[in-house]
Amino acid sequence: MVLYLINNCSNLEQVCLRYFESFHGQNEGDCPQHHTIAIKNAGDVFVPRELKPIFKLARKKHSYSVHQLQTEDFWDFKMLSQDLKILGVRRYSENNIPVKWMNIVEVKITKDYPSTVFFKTSHLDVTYKSLTLKRQQADVKKFPLMRLNSGPVKIPPAKYEDLISLCTGPTAVVRASDHKAFYMSLPH
């Protein structure tokens, strides 16, 4: 995805992704205050659309900007990855040393070298190692992306029946008609 982005975005020069080493990091999502503040005051949540204001107000100062995504907002990069044979690269360019994909902690892609993946296996490394992909840059630019899903993702029939059971019967948990309509309209 990053290779596609760097090859097709005119105002993007470089993308750098850094990963925490296992059990050695904390990010904002790990902070317990965010979920306790938001959920404590939220009350009951019956449908996904009710989560948006909770997420926005999870931080007291400078509330979050929440963008609701639709099915058509997701693209399928699996075919591009297979076409580029990215995971088929077993040795990196310098010294023909094997690549240990699980040990990579930083990845950098630049517009100057759009068919090369620069990476580090330690946050202490000063220089990057590099992988040069077998495919040419032009392939990435011309590659036709497909939508990940052609429509809403269907849920299994058993899950649908479980959700509907929450809306029916004498002890229904979901009682509001617009909430019931949401569950009954789920594709299954």
- Give the span between the Cα atoms of 5 and 72, in whole angstroms: 18
pLDDT at residue number 135: 59
DSSP conformation letters of 33-68? HHHHHHHHTT----SGGGHHHHHHTTSSSSPPP---
Whose CA is closest to 109, among 133, 90, 93?
A: 133
Lowest mean pLDDT among 31-40, 68-77, 143-152, 174-183: 31-40
In this predicted model, what pLDDT tens digit does every residue of 87-105 receive, in sequence order? 666 666 666 777 777 888 9
The pLDDT assigned to 103 comes to 85
Q: Is the pTM of this model over 0.95?
A: no
Per-residue model confidence as pLDDT tens digits over 27-64: 555 555 555 555 666 778 899 888 888 888 777 788 88
pLDDT exceeds 60 at position 140: yes
